[in-house]
Amino acid sequence: MGNEKKKEYLGELEGKVKDFIQKHYSDNNLNVSMLGEEFNITSAYLSKIFKNHVGLSLHEYINMVRINKAKELLKREELTIAQIGQAVGYSNANAFIRVFKNYEGITPGKYKSML
Protein backbone atom coordinates (compact mmCIF):
# COMPACT_ATOMS: atom_id res chain seq x y z
CA MET A 1 0.00 0.00 0.00
CA GLY A 2 1.44 3.37 -1.01
CA ASN A 3 1.80 6.19 1.49
CA GLU A 4 -1.17 8.18 0.13
CA LYS A 5 -3.39 5.08 0.07
CA LYS A 6 -2.32 4.22 3.60
CA LYS A 7 -3.07 7.75 4.86
CA GLU A 8 -6.47 7.65 3.17
CA TYR A 9 -7.22 4.22 4.68
CA LEU A 10 -6.15 5.34 8.16
CA GLY A 11 -8.22 8.50 7.89
CA GLU A 12 -11.28 6.49 6.87
CA LEU A 13 -10.67 3.96 9.62
CA GLU A 14 -10.32 6.73 12.21
CA GLY A 15 -13.64 8.23 11.07
CA LYS A 16 -15.40 4.88 11.19
CA VAL A 17 -14.02 4.07 14.65
CA LYS A 18 -15.04 7.51 15.97
CA ASP A 19 -18.53 7.13 14.46
CA PHE A 20 -18.88 3.67 15.99
CA ILE A 21 -17.87 5.01 19.41
CA GLN A 22 -20.33 7.94 19.09
CA LYS A 23 -23.14 5.51 18.31
CA HIS A 24 -22.25 2.89 20.92
CA TYR A 25 -20.78 4.85 23.85
CA SER A 26 -23.73 3.82 26.04
CA ASP A 27 -22.93 0.12 25.60
CA ASN A 28 -21.00 -0.93 28.70
CA ASN A 29 -19.39 -3.68 26.61
CA LEU A 30 -17.74 -1.09 24.36
CA ASN A 31 -14.00 -1.56 24.68
CA VAL A 32 -10.87 -1.94 22.59
CA SER A 33 -11.47 -5.66 22.01
CA MET A 34 -14.99 -5.02 20.76
CA LEU A 35 -13.68 -2.38 18.35
CA GLY A 36 -11.01 -4.76 17.08
CA GLU A 37 -13.65 -7.38 16.37
CA GLU A 38 -15.98 -4.83 14.75
CA PHE A 39 -13.26 -3.63 12.36
CA ASN A 40 -11.62 -7.03 11.90
CA ILE A 41 -8.25 -5.81 13.17
CA THR A 42 -6.38 -6.97 16.25
CA SER A 43 -7.18 -4.68 19.16
CA ALA A 44 -3.46 -4.04 19.76
CA TYR A 45 -2.90 -2.89 16.16
CA LEU A 46 -6.09 -0.81 16.12
CA SER A 47 -5.03 0.84 19.38
CA LYS A 48 -1.58 1.60 18.01
CA ILE A 49 -2.76 3.16 14.75
CA PHE A 50 -5.54 5.10 16.51
CA LYS A 51 -3.10 6.54 19.08
CA ASN A 52 -0.58 7.42 16.32
CA HIS A 53 -3.27 9.07 14.20
CA VAL A 54 -5.40 10.76 16.90
CA GLY A 55 -2.99 11.25 19.78
CA LEU A 56 -5.25 9.50 22.30
CA SER A 57 -5.53 5.83 23.08
CA LEU A 58 -8.82 4.19 22.16
CA HIS A 59 -9.58 3.74 25.85
CA GLU A 60 -8.97 7.45 26.52
CA TYR A 61 -11.11 8.42 23.52
CA ILE A 62 -14.01 6.20 24.65
CA ASN A 63 -13.84 7.71 28.15
CA MET A 64 -13.64 11.23 26.73
CA VAL A 65 -16.78 10.68 24.63
CA ARG A 66 -18.60 9.17 27.60
CA ILE A 67 -17.61 12.00 29.97
CA ASN A 68 -18.67 14.65 27.43
CA LYS A 69 -22.06 12.93 27.05
CA ALA A 70 -22.35 12.70 30.84
CA LYS A 71 -21.69 16.44 31.16
CA GLU A 72 -24.55 17.11 28.71
CA LEU A 73 -26.85 14.90 30.78
CA LEU A 74 -25.74 16.50 34.03
CA LYS A 75 -26.70 19.92 32.61
CA ARG A 76 -30.19 19.05 31.49
CA GLU A 77 -31.41 15.87 33.12
CA GLU A 78 -33.03 15.10 36.42
CA LEU A 79 -31.29 11.74 36.60
CA THR A 80 -29.22 10.40 39.45
CA ILE A 81 -25.45 10.18 39.06
CA ALA A 82 -25.78 6.38 38.86
CA GLN A 83 -28.42 6.65 36.09
CA ILE A 84 -26.24 9.05 34.11
CA GLY A 85 -23.24 6.75 34.55
CA GLN A 86 -25.29 3.85 33.22
CA ALA A 87 -26.64 5.95 30.35
CA VAL A 88 -23.11 6.68 29.16
CA GLY A 89 -21.82 3.11 29.41
CA TYR A 90 -20.48 2.58 32.93
CA SER A 91 -21.80 -0.54 34.62
CA ASN A 92 -21.48 0.92 38.12
CA ALA A 93 -21.60 4.37 39.64
CA ASN A 94 -18.20 4.06 41.34
CA ALA A 95 -16.43 3.45 38.03
CA PHE A 96 -18.27 6.41 36.47
CA ILE A 97 -17.42 8.74 39.38
CA ARG A 98 -13.76 7.65 39.35
CA VAL A 99 -13.35 8.20 35.59
CA PHE A 100 -15.29 11.49 35.66
CA LYS A 101 -13.11 12.83 38.48
CA ASN A 102 -9.97 11.66 36.66
CA TYR A 103 -10.95 13.62 33.52
CA GLU A 104 -12.64 16.66 35.07
CA GLY A 105 -10.90 17.01 38.43
CA ILE A 106 -14.21 16.97 40.32
CA THR A 107 -16.96 14.44 40.93
CA PRO A 108 -20.10 14.44 38.76
CA GLY A 109 -22.14 15.51 41.81
CA LYS A 110 -19.89 18.53 42.37
CA TYR A 111 -20.02 19.33 38.63
CA LYS A 112 -23.83 19.22 38.69
CA SER A 113 -24.00 21.46 41.78
CA MET A 114 -21.82 24.05 40.06
CA LEU A 115 -24.18 24.40 37.08
What end-to-end distance do the CA atoms of the chain give, in Å?
51
Is residue 26 predicted with pLDDT exceeding 80? Answer: yes
Q: Which of 41, 57, 73 is the last residue before a domain boundary?
A: 57
Domain harbouring 7, CATH code: 1.10.10
What does the alpha-carbon distance between residue 51 and residue 60 come to, in Å, rounded to a whole number? 10
pLDDT band with cut points at 50, 70 and 90 for residue 1: low
User: Among residues 77, 50, 78, 83, which one has the least CA distance to residue 64?
Assistant: 50
Residue-number span of the structural domain to which 44 is assigned: 3-57
What does the alpha-carbon distance between residue 100 and residue 115 come to, in Å, rounded to a whole number? 16
Q: Which of 57, 76, 92 is the last residue before a domain boundary?
A: 57
Considering the entire predicted model, what is its pTM? 0.92
Average pLDDT over residues 63-82: 94
Is residue 58 predicted with pLDDT exceeding 70? Answer: yes
Percent of the chain at pLDDT exceeding 70:
99
Q: Which residue has the higher pLDDT, 20 or 5?
A: 20
pLDDT band with cut points at 50, 70 and 90 for residue 4: confident
Average pLDDT over residues 7-25: 93
How many domains does one find in the chain? 2
User: In this structure, what are the phi and psi dihedrals at residue 9, rounded to the nearest 5 degrees?
Assistant: -60, -45
Q: Which of 57, 74, 98 is the last residue before a domain boundary?
A: 57
Residue 107's pLDDT is 97
